[in-house]
Amino acid sequence: MNLTPFEKNGLQVYRNYNKAFERAREIKFAEAIDSENADVGKLTSVFEHFLSEDVRFLPVIACAFGDELLKEMFIKWIAGDVPGGPKSLFNQYGPLSSLFHRIQLAHAFDFASADLLIDLDKIRKSRNQIAHFWDIGSLKEFFETGPASTIFAIDGLFGNYPDFAEKLDRLDGAKRFRARLIWLVARLFYETRFY
């Protein structure tokens, strides 16, 4: 590029200001997180259910908890002067009446990471499919090949801990699903508050 000294200086100033503003946003974000008193009691309780309940119930528990988190997030950000009141958005005919609609709107308006919301929708689909299984034995393959098997694979996050990654690889589909679900719900808990 053939830039004049004036243009080079201008780009440098722009870059410096961008970095300064980004750093200021990071500091404000950290202060906001520190000032928020997030009650992790419900999250701990959900994790206990994930570890103790039959794997067939996990999508139901995850969806119910995710639905509650998304509803709280929307209530927090919706203006109080919405015609009909904010609660009207969640009634039977409101645009936020179901988990599916909450996922769609959160995705459309970037209220949480797209990959997280897509995975939550896969769990929602899994929940709906499991409701129609009568043969418990057929569920073994469900966690290996169904929508639940395609949620974010946390296995790749532990490159610095090969022993842990190896242990995850040895888990069967249902146990791997439990681990992935814990990761998904923890991210959802965090992002619905601070994204």
- For every residue of 79-121, DSSP letters joined together read -TT-TT-GGGGGSTTSTTSSHHHHHHHHHHTTSS-HHHHHHHH
Region 65-89: mean pLDDT is: 87
User: What are the pLDDT digits (tens) for 20-33?
Assistant: 888 888 888 778 77
- Could you give the 3-state DSSP secondary structure of residue 40? coil
Is the predicted pLDDT of residue 64 greater than 90, yes or no?
yes
pLDDT digits (tens, 9 = 90+) for 3-21: 888 888 888 888 898 898 8
> Does residue 149 surpass a pLDDT of 80?
no
The pLDDT confidence band at residue 61, using thresholds 50, 70 and 90, is very high
Average pLDDT estimate for 150-173: 74
Distances from the Cα of 128 to the Cαs of 58, 147, 148, in angstroms? 12, 11, 11
Quick one: pLDDT band at residue 103, thresholds 50, 70, 90? very high
Q: Tell me what percent of the chain is helix, strand and coil, each rounded to the nearest 5.
A: 75, 0, 25
Q: Is 99 exposed, middle or buried (0-12, 13-18, 19+ CB in 10 A)?
A: buried
Percent of the chain exceeding pLDDT 90 equals 34
Does residue 99 carry a pLDDT above 90?
A: yes
Question: Per-residue confidence at 159, pLDDT binned at 50, 70, 90?
Answer: low
Residue 84 to residues 77, 80, 94, Cα–Cα distance (Å):
16, 10, 10
Q: What is the pLDDT of residue 76?
A: 85
Mean pLDDT, residues 70-87: 84
Position 55 pLDDT exceeds 80: yes
Q: Domain map of the chain by residue range?
A: 1-35, 38-194
Evaluate if residue 136 carries a pLDDT over 70: no
Q: Where are the beta strands (DSSP E) in 136-188?
A: none
For residue 59, count other CB atoms closer than 10 A to its CB.
24
pTM of the model as a whole? 0.77
**HSE-up (13 A, CA, CB side) for residue 34:** 6
What's the CA gap between 102 and 95, in Å, rounded? 8
Does CATH number 1.10.3470 belong to domain 38-194?
no
Comparison of pLDDT for 194 and 57, the residue scoring more? 57
